[in-house]
Amino acid sequence: MIQATIYDKIILMSNIVLESLLKPLADFYSPSFVEEIAINHAGEVWMRLHGARVPWVSYKSEVLSKQYLIDLIHTVANIYERPFDPIHGMPVVYATLPGNHRFTAIAGPNVQYDESDITGGVALNIRGGGAPDTSFENYHLRRGQKLLKIKTRQKERPDDPYDRLMSAINDGSPILISGATSTGKTTFLNHLLKLIDQNSRVITVEDAREIRVPQANRVHFILSRTEQTNEFNYARLLDLVVRMTPDVIIGGEISTDNASVLWEMLGTGHDHFYTTIHAENSEAAYAAFADRILHTQPAYNRTDLIAEMKKKIRVVQLSRDGALRAVTEVV
């Protein structure tokens, strides 16, 4: 009985400390009109609003220093007994805060906002707890009525290659940019990102920073192929990316290390998924993607896998002849 009382007091004290530390953020995530907040770097918070025409809005806040954010993550990790060691492969903390607010955070060398974060950045999401009252009717589910079709993609692809690419971008189709070395795949992808809604939240996953994202609401995850001391790898990345609620996901060049995870990300239901691969034509691009998946997931049927890719993914093929670079296929 005495032990239980002491334990209850410790829990109470921990909650008091946590709520005090969370106060600068609670003003942002507690209002009923806030779906969630996202912090991509120190000094700025993005709020996702329920039902807003422009869902993400940002605010500057000097209180949200990098040290404050790191201290917050450490405190949450300690109170909820979560491992947190950004240097040695445990940079992520998941928890449910008082008030049923879902907390997701990452810090250290695996996350960056821009080049100034070369020694390591910090990013976190907190779900708001004030979801509006709802019912099946709010989801357009009524007896005797057909289900709505939302964001249906064009089955008929335009004849003109330019229009075909624009339609893929506009309807959120996954796009695989294929080409040999020095055909300009990353440069092409960087230009393509300028055509995406500037209010979008963009998350990139790369081995090294190459992608230049013009959208301000962005997070870059870095996973080195050569770093042996860091256990944070692609297999651990999937849940983190989904919890960070991206509007756009950018995968680095497809390799045997990341192919199966990128394929799983593509199946999470997020629109606007873009990545690159080394291949000489579109057929070879699908085959190369499948073969890299099979390297770690041999249970897949190769023929079925390629057929599924052709249904889901558009390929933009780039080719080069000397100094001439050109798009040679859009499928």
Nearest to 58 by CA among 193, 199, 243: 199
Report the C-alpha gap between 42 and 62 in whole angstroms: 8
Q: Is there a contact between 293 and 305 (Cβ–Cβ < 8 Å)? A: yes
Domains of the chain (ranges; CATH) run 2-127 (3.30.450.90), 161-330 (3.40.50.300)
pTM beyond cutoff 0.85: yes
Write down the pLDDT at residue 106: 96
Q: For residue 37, how far is the Cα from the chain centroid?
A: 15
| Beta carbons within 8 Å of 256's beta carbon, 6+ residues apart | 292, 295, 296
In the structure, how many helices (H) and strands (E) does the chain have?
A: 8, 14
Output the tens digit of pLDDT for each of the chain's 331 residues. 445 565 454 555 667 788 888 999 999 999 988 999 999 999 999 999 987 778 899 999 999 999 999 999 999 999 999 999 988 878 999 999 988 899 999 999 899 887 777 778 999 999 986 556 667 877 778 888 888 776 665 667 788 999 999 999 999 999 999 999 999 999 999 999 999 999 999 999 998 888 999 999 999 998 865 455 456 788 788 889 989 999 999 998 999 989 999 999 888 878 799 999 999 999 999 999 999 999 999 999 999 999 999 999 999 999 999 899 999 999 9
Write down the pLDDT at residue 7: 47
Residue with tokens 């870095």: 222
